[in-house]
Amino acid sequence: MSTRILLKKSADESMTKTEKRKWDKDVYLLEGVEAVADETTGEKYIVIHADPLDPAASMPRVARKYIKRVTYTEEKYFEGFRTDGVYKLRGATARVDTIEVVHAPGWQNVNDTTTISRHQTISISAGSIRTLREIYTKVRQGTLKPVEDWGAHLSEVEHRERRAAFVAEVEAAAT
């Protein structure tokens, strides 16, 4: 899980650079909360170590006037979490993607055949933690439909056929 609060340029005026370094980056303080700068863009952000979707989690207090966007990425959902595609709600955007990973024979001592594992990732960009929680909840509940549907309405038979063809292709390439 990766969660960041991206800060507006105007937050720079209220930040203090510290002597501390984190992840080989300079650390800044914004109202007592640590922020770091992206090495490519120089954009400052706050890393959240608590789960922003947990209502009991302690979130850093950052004035709304400093927040540009809140981003969240998670890669743990099993296949079929939700339809692959792009979802939108009140200025927030969520993307759900299915990832297939091919494991060589003997992976985790399972057996002597090639196996495939599938999981979904969800990434969200929202204007606030509240909106992030709202779009995540609606996607998770299935009450929000994708504005871009990426064809995940395949039947299980079609998934199995694609999987079998892919495994056969990988095994043929390995021999």
CA separation for the pair 18, 125 (Å, rounded):
28
pLDDT at 19 (0 to 100): 78
Residue 88 domain boundaries:
79-175
Contact 60, 32 (CB under 8 A): no
**Least confident interval from 14-18, 35-39, 166-170:** 166-170
Are residues 18 and 88 located together in one domain of the fold?
no
Are residues 60 and 95 located together in one domain of the fold?
no
Q: Is residue 73 part of a domain?
A: no
Are residues 63 and 127 located together in one domain of the fold?
no
Contact 117, 166 (CB under 8 A): no
CB atoms within 10 A of CB 95: 18
Task: Give the residue-averaged pLDDT of 140-166.
Answer: 73
Are residues 89 and 52 located together in one domain of the fold?
no
Are residues 107 and 62 located together in one domain of the fold?
no
Are residues 95 and 41 located together in one domain of the fold?
no
Q: Which of 19, 38, 68 is the last residue of a domain?
A: 68
CA separation for the pair 80, 140 (Å, rounded):
11
Q: Is residue 90 part of a domain?
A: yes
Banded model confidence at residue 100, pLDDT cuts 50, 70, 90? confident
Q: Which of 43, 68, 93 is the last residue of a domain?
A: 68
Are residues 151 and 85 located together in one domain of the fold?
yes
Are residues 96 and 39 located together in one domain of the fold?
no
Which is higher by pLDDT, 56 or 105? 56
Q: Which of 22, 43, 68 is the last residue of a domain?
A: 68
CA nearest to 144, candidates 132, 133, 136: 136
What does the chain come to in residues? 175
Are residues 55 and 99 located together in one domain of the fold?
no
Q: Is residue 153 part of a domain?
A: yes
pLDDT at 79 (0 to 100): 61
pLDDT at 126 (0 to 100): 96
Kindly tell me if the per-residue pLDDT of 67 is higher than 90. yes
Are residues 15 and 57 located together in one domain of the fold?
yes
Task: Give the residue-averaged pLDDT of 59-64.
Answer: 86
CB atoms within 10 A of CB 45: 20
Task: Domain count for the chain, please give it.
Answer: 2
Task: Give the residue-averaged pLDDT of 34-58.
Answer: 86
Are residues 56 and 22 located together in one domain of the fold?
yes
pLDDT at 164 (0 to 100): 73
CB atoms within 10 A of CB 22: 12
Q: Is residue 74 part of a domain?
A: no
pLDDT at 143 (0 to 100): 92
Banded model confidence at residue 103, pLDDT cuts 50, 70, 90? low
Mean of all residue pLDDT scores within the chain: 82
Task: Give the residue-averaged pLDDT of 141-145.
Answer: 90
